[in-house]
DNA sequence: CGGAATCCGGGCCGATACTG
DNA sequence: CAGTATCGGCCCGGATTCCG
């Protein structure tokens, strides 16, 4: 496939284009979690304990910029901000589900039982 | 999901685990191309013009190490090395096809026609 | 032809501190 | 509570060189 441009950046195939929008370590876990329910910043942070404050903010900005989530600010003190999946964000969910399922298949091949890991509390 | 380890590395969810093996800029394009046919190093390089010599080598090493491709060396001069998808590699193809399809959907949403891009020669 | 080693620049990303 | 700014380490990845 020849290359094409979007937003000033050059891409060489559709996989690269998709991965640039929902790839990286954090975007899919964030979208996956927001699909379960709308959440405010601190809730999201609680469910993703290993992401840093800066990274969560940055990733949410990019997801918002690319139209995957909406950001709702409530004018109260202390601040309250909620993040919700858009239609575009919801369309990414089946793809993430596929990758997730594949990841669990790979775990089994490697001798790791996903069900067992899910059951653990720590 | 709690965390789990594989090969000394810690992962926090199946998506991260899958992406560590077939993610990055180049692994999926390489697997996708090898699924069409077994190819030697220089052929692969020709089809992925933008990857550097070093990157193609390292990515192939990692794919081999993780069991996605086999490396066959022919004892001739000049050297000839062929890369072939393993069964595990072939199992990744449907996942890549899904992401690829999704990438093309995103392109259309962004006003880019994939068919048009495919048709172009330069 | 295919690969390894080296050098090195840029950007990703974490830690910390400060703001409203 | 949520976000911004700054600093700095580390590693990804390109360019180059050398090898069988």
DSSP B71-108: EEEE--SS-EEEEEE-HHHHHHHHHHHHHHHHHHHHHH
Instruction: For residues B89-117, give the mean pLDDT.
Output: 96
pLDDT computed for residue A9 by the predictor: 85
Average pLDDT over all residues of chain B: 94
Instruction: For residues B31-47, give the mean pLDDT.
Output: 96
Q: How far is B73 from chain A (nearest CA, A)?
A: 27
By C-alpha distance, which of A115, A117, A112, A106 is closest to B23? A106
Q: Whole-angstrom Cα distance, residue B50 to residue A71?
A: 37
A55 touches strand D (CB under 7 A): no
pTM: 0.94
**Using a CB-CB distance cutoff of 8 angstroms, which residues of chain B are in contact with residue A12?**
29, 50
pLDDT computed for residue B121 by the predictor: 57
**Using 50, 70 and 90 to split pLDDT, how confident is the model at A7?**
confident
By C-alpha distance, which of B42, B32, B28 is closest to B81? B42
**Using 50, 70 and 90 to split pLDDT, how confident is the model at A85?**
very high
Pick out the nucleotide with least CA–C1' distance to A60: D3
B81 touches strand C (CB under 7 A): yes
- Say what percent of chain B tops pLDDT 70: 98
pLDDT computed for residue A69 by the predictor: 97
What confidence tens digit (pLDDT) does each residue in B101-112 have? 999 999 999 999
Residues with Cβ within 8 Å of A7's Cβ and at least 6 positions away in sequence, in order, are none
Q: How far is A86 from chain B (nearest CA, A)?
A: 14
pLDDT computed for residue A121 by the predictor: 57
B113 touches chain A (CB under 8 A): no
Q: Whole-angstrom Cα distance, residue B67 to residue A15?
A: 21
**Using a CB-CB distance cutoff of 8 angstroms, which residues of chain B are in contact with residue A50?**
12
Chain B residue with the nearest C-alpha to that of A31:
B15
Q: How far is B65 from chain A (nearest CA, A)?
A: 13
**Using a CB-CB distance cutoff of 8 angstroms, which residues of chain A are in contact with residue B112?**
4, 6
Side by side, the strands of the sheet bearing B80-85 are B39-40, B80-85, B69-74
Region at A7 (left for phi over 0; alpha for psi -120 to 50; beta for the rest): left
Cβ-defined contact of B1 to A29 (cutoff 8 Å)? no
Inform me whether the pLDDT recorded for B17 exceeds 80: yes
**Using a CB-CB distance cutoff of 8 angstroms, which residues of chain B are in contact with residue A17?**
103, 106-107
Alpha carbon distances (Å) from B96 to A47, A96, B74, B90: 28, 12, 30, 10
Q: How far is A67 from chain B (nearest CA, A)?
A: 11
B78 touches strand C (CB under 7 A): yes
Going along chain A from its start, the domains and CATH numbers come out as: 28-117 (1.10.10.10)
Cβ-defined contact of B99 to A104 (cutoff 8 Å)? no
A77 against B98, higher pLDDT: B98
Inform me whether the pLDDT recorded for B120 exceeds 80: no
- Say what percent of chain A tops pLDDT 90: 83
A92 touches chain B (CB under 8 A): yes
pLDDT computed for residue B119 by the predictor: 82
**Using 50, 70 and 90 to split pLDDT, how confident is the model at B53?**
very high
Q: Which residue has the tokens 């093309």?
A: B104
Pair B82, B76: CB distance under 8 Å: no
Instruction: For residues A3-8, give the mean pLDDT.
Output: 86
Average pLDDT over all residues of chain A: 93
Instruction: For residues B72-80, give the mean pLDDT.
Output: 94
B1 against A89, higher pLDDT: A89
Instruction: For residues B1-26, give the mean pLDDT.
Output: 90
Inform me whether the pLDDT recorded for B91 exceeds 70: yes
């Amino acid at each position: 496939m020849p290359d094409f441009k979007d937003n000033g950046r050059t891409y060489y195939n559709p996989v690269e284009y998709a991965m640039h929008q929902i790839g990286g370590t954090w975007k899919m876990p964030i979208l996956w979690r927001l699909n379960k329910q709308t959440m405010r910043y601190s809730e999201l942070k609680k469910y993703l304990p290993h992401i840093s404050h800066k990274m969560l903010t940055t990733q949410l900005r990019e997801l918002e910029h690319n139209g995957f989530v909406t950001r709702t600010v409530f004018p109260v003190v202390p601040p309250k901000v909620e993040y919700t999946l858009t239609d575009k964000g919801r369309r990414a969910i089946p793809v993430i589900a596929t990758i997730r399922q594949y990841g669990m298949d790979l775990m089994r091949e490697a001798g790791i039982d996903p069900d067992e890991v899910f059951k653990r509390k720590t």
